[in-house]
Amino acid sequence: MPEFLDNVTAGDALALIPALEDDSIHCCISDIPYGINLDEWDVLHQNTNSALLGQSPAQRGKSGFKRRGKPIRGWSEADRSIPKEYQAWCYNWASQLYPKMKDGASVFIFGARRTLHRAIVALEDSGFLLKDILAWEKNSAHHRAQRISIVLSRRGLVDEADKWSGWRLGNLAPIWEPIAWLFKPYPHTITDVVVKNEVGAVNTAAIQANGKNPTNLVKRWFAKDEQRWHEAQKPVSIMEFLIKLSTREGHIVLDPFAGSGSTAIACQRLGRRFICFEINDDFVAISKYRLSLSTVDTSPSESVTPTQIAMFDANAASDILVSE
């Protein structure tokens, strides 16, 4: 396993997790794909409905409606299988992850409010137990809901448009996201596993705010100069919170879906070892570039190619970041 330590390895997590040593990981923290069709990498099913990742005429050209998935109710029987296929995908990697974790070790996974339950069930079926669901409160959230009166007006339904003035199509602004907190069961008492494996307890003193112990409502956001490289990127600060909460210096933290490397950066800052897997070569390069810096202020340089920079327009990040 030495080749994986303190490195972002390019490859599919489903192929790389089995190569890890059993009973070796102190904590797993990952912003896994949500299965909400955010982009091609988030399409984890076999449905080929042509509307997937498309735009309606009213949405075209507006950054807030860059892409859309299917209506929640689904358009066909195949659409209704999407959640089941997402759960099966989660089980594929979670069942491989289980033997690699130390008894009592925590697993934190970010997820969408309407699909996270499928991931939780998959991890439970793999052997993990659910401890809690944290609510990560964001500083801002883009609201994509269209005014139904405008949609009706464009159809020439003037009276209907007036009737529905003030109403919108969509959800409330997504100001929070869930983080599922699971753990690997332990054979005896929690105290025994803390002594043996140094996991299972929570370091509330390390993450106190104004002398108060933390709650399961967590508010962390991007640093002022923290560059956005990935449309689903999480702030380094929220990763630091989870790492401080559940691990000690020198512990090994695994992120099998590393994206642009926020977990790795948080580990590097806090003196933890990390193992990160990422299937996209461009984001592997970006992660390694970010790790080479002393801060997360990742301005473009020659070590990241123009093609990689063009993958994601950072100026539009606040419009589409981690929304469902």
What are the pLDDT digits (tens) for 36-71?
877 777 878 777 666 666 666 665 666 655 665 665
Mean pLDDT of 226-242: 92
Selected residue with higher pLDDT from 266 and 169: 266
Pairing of strands 176-183, 101-110: antiparallel
CB neighbour list of residue 296: distance below 8 Å, 6 or more residues apart: 223, 225, 226, 227, 236, 265, 290
User: Would you say residue 300 has pLDDT above 90?
Assistant: no
| Nearest of 139, 100, 119, 69 to residue 254 by alpha carbon | 100
Q: Is 324 helix (H, G, I), strand (E, B) or coil?
A: coil
pLDDT of residue 298: 38
Residue-level pLDDT at 137: 95
Model confidence over 93-144: pLDDT tens digits? 999 999 999 999 999 999 999 999 999 999 999 999 999 999 999 998 877 7
Share of the chain above pLDDT 70, in %: 82
Where along the chain do its domains lie?
A: 7-45+81-140+175-320
- Among 42-46, 63-67, 200-204, 217-221, name the one with the lowest average pLDDT: 63-67
Q: What superfamily would CATH give domain 7-45+81-140+175-320?
A: Vaccinia Virus protein VP39 (3.40.50.150)
Q: Pick the more confident residue, 324 or 212.
A: 212
- Residue 240: which residues within 8 A CB-CB, separation 6 or more? 220, 266, 269, 270
**Residue bearing tokens 């909460």:** 245
244 Cβ contact list (under 8 Å, min separation 6): 203, 206, 207, 270
Quote the pTM value. 0.85
CA–CA distance, 147 with 145 (Å, rounded to integer): 7
Q: Indicate the residue type of 30.
A: S
Q: Which two tokens stand for residue 98?
A: 């289980």
| DSSP notation for 69-135 | ---TT-SSHHHHTHHHHHHHHHHHHHHHHGGGEEEEEEEEEE--TTTHHHHHHHHHHHT-EEEEEEE
Report how many helices (DSSP H) and strands (DSSP E) the chain contains, helices first. 12, 10
139-180 pLDDT, tens digit each: 988 777 889 999 999 999 999 999 999 999 888 888 999 999
Q: Of 140, 94, 84, whose CA–CA distance to 115 is shortest? A: 84
